[in-house]
Structure 1
């Protein structure tokens, strides 16, 4: 089968599309014929060696976390899925097993490929609803889980002023429509403004523009958590700032202790899995064939992207 492969640690330009053996499912696993897969930051950061101290990769390593496709084989003991079922979901490389939850981890052989194997007993994989097309289903899992956790943790209220930093990415374009009743200031580039307003932003400001004052709630979706001083200054006393980036938040990063500053990361599925996120609508910014997987990853790493980048297989 064809797959996007890392043959050693390095930047996206060193990746390749190569022939790999088709993985076979063991007991409790399913094999999926991948129809589409989306790109996430992990697909760049993992082969770059950022997690090497916690999880050493074995090469060649097939990349990819999110997918949509058709069950092509089931392992012994699997009853929830059958050959021909349309499924979608999220999984992490088996090399990262120690970094995921202790419950029912969702592990994969890599989704940027023609075939991948997954654990069947996990809330992070589900049957694909007919209303969700293949590309959207592949774009949704990671951003959907993230948005679901952000909404449950932050509990935005109608009438609040909400700042969304990095609104044009996959998470931001999925989050904006859920902030109904709020005054939403979204950061983005001028060409993104029309789409961001259509998604629910009240106002779109450039990344370099001054942030508004007296913000009730801020979501940081892109900047490192130790570079949020400007966001911190925009918050009213008692305001809330939720980030999905590392390092772990520290009040000293903001130079103020009168606001809530938290990392939102749900590796256990505490706020639900694929079934719960299926009603969210992701934005597919650009599609690439699998053969152009390396170009898609280099674009993701080096260019401003709108929504999610999806590989079609």
Structure 2
């Protein structure tokens, strides 16, 4: 089968579309024909070697976590899924076993989703049946974004009328965070380029700030002199955050998902992608209710998936990039 593989540690230059053996399911596993895979910056960070100590890869390494597809075979002792089931979700490389419990319990492992076929451990809340009203492409854009957004909203305990500044609102996770906040009646101030203003307002943002032409903290305080209730950082590296934290009123929340994380002394709480039982089913229901729109903005065939990763790394990305089968 065809798959996007890394031949060693490095940047996009180590990636290629190659022929690799079709993975077969073992006990407790399922094989899936991948219809669409959502790309994540984390795919490239792992290949870069930034997490080499915690995630020692074996090469060739097949990339990809988010997916939607069709179950094609099941291993012994699998009762949850059957061949022909349409499913979606995410998995991590088995090399990431040390961090996998942060994502779901039991952990969710995969052979890599930017491929024609992938194998997953079946018994995990990070996989779910895809309802008929949710397209495969829409589903593939959701798992990491939505399973990061839900823990953020839980940590923030957001309620009607609160004000939140979302830094990096036009990115993949922002595509879930902004509409979920708006659905709870939160007044969302989003950082975005002028070209992305219509996009983030369509997600539910009430205001936007052009982060390239304005000091985000100063502009926020000029509009809201009493401060706001929460800062949600989806993009800035940790050292840049203390300067922005002054926008939050005393007792407000400082939430972060970006790497590298800020030091605990800054007051920021770093929130990780996490799947609780029923979370993906809730995500699918929110899509069917019209709360979570599709954020897939660019699509690439598998043969051009290396170009997709190059675009992810080197161009301004709005929403999610997908590789389709």
For the superposition of Structure 1 and Structure 2, which TM-score range results when normalised by the shorter chain?
Answer: over 0.9
Q: Is the 8 A contact 1:4 1:63 kept in 2?
A: yes
- For residues 104-119 of structure 1, the aligned pairs below 5 Å read 104-119=106-121
Post-superposition Cα deviations, 1:57-89, rounded to whole Å, max 9, x if no partner, equal 111110000100000001011111111110101
Cross-structure match for 2:14: 14
Give the stretch that moved more between structures: 272-281 or 146-155.
272-281
> 5+ unaligned residues in a row in structure 2: which ranges?
222-226
1:218 aligns with 2:220: no
Shift of 1:251: 5.2
Cross-structure match for 2:151: 149
Cross-structure match for 1:204: 208
1:292 aligns with 2:297: no
Cross-structure match for 2:280: 274
Cross-structure match for 2:244: 231
Structure 1: how far apart are the matches of 2:187 and 2:150? 20
Cross-structure match for 1:262: 269
Q: Is the 8 A contact 2:144 2:273 kept in 1?
A: no
Cross-structure match for 1:126: 128
Q: Secondary structure at the match of 1:222?
A: coil
Q: TM-score when scaled to structure 2?
A: 0.90
Moved over 3 A (4+): 246-249, 270-273
Q: Is the 8 A contact 1:62 1:113 kept in 2?
A: yes
Q: How many residues align?
A: 306
Q: Secondary structure at the match of 2:195?
A: helix
What's the C-alpha RMSD, in Å, of the aligned pairs? 1.5
Q: Which has the higher helix share?
A: 2
Alignment counterpart, residue 172 of structure 2, candidates 170, 173, 182: 170
Shift of 1:272: 4.7
Structure 2: how far apart are the matches of 1:40 and 1:266? 12
Cross-structure match for 1:256: none
Cross-structure match for 2:188: 184
Q: Is the 8 A contact 1:30 1:117 kept in 2?
A: yes
Shift of 1:105: 0.7
